[in-house]
Amino acid sequence: MNKDELIDAVASKTGVSKKETEDLINSTLDVIEKTMVQGDKVALTGFGVFSVNQRAARVGINPQTKEKLQIPAMKVPKFKAGKSLKDAVK
């Protein structure tokens, strides 16, 4: 399911217009993104937790040339599914 299909599904389930649904979904995603950029986590009880992890710097190897290269430290987004979501998917 892509974003457009999600908007259609939510709009048909709630009876709200597609434009309003799109605005709500975009706003929700923006708030989640801005919260994560600040380094905080977003916990949606039963669904899961969006958080930011710090990945340490490391040495990698270019598979074509076998040359070693330094991969810098970086922050990466992480999602951990909640119990309700895990049980629903089983």
Residue extents of the structural domains in the chain? 1-40, 45-90
pLDDT at 39: 92
Residues of the chain under the 70 pLDDT cut: none
Instruction: Extract the tokens encoding 28.
Output: 């929700």
pLDDT at 40: 95
pLDDT at 50: 97
Alpha-carbon distance of 84 to 22, in angstroms, equals 25
pLDDT at 41: 96
pLDDT at 34: 97
pLDDT at 82: 95
Nearest to 77 by CA among 57, 49, 56: 49
Helices 18-37 and 3-14, interaxial angle, to 10°?
120
pLDDT at 33: 96
Residue 8, phi then psi, degrees to nearest 5: -60, -45
CATH number of 45-90: 4.10.520.10
Handedness of CA 42, 45, 48, 53 (dihedral sign): positive
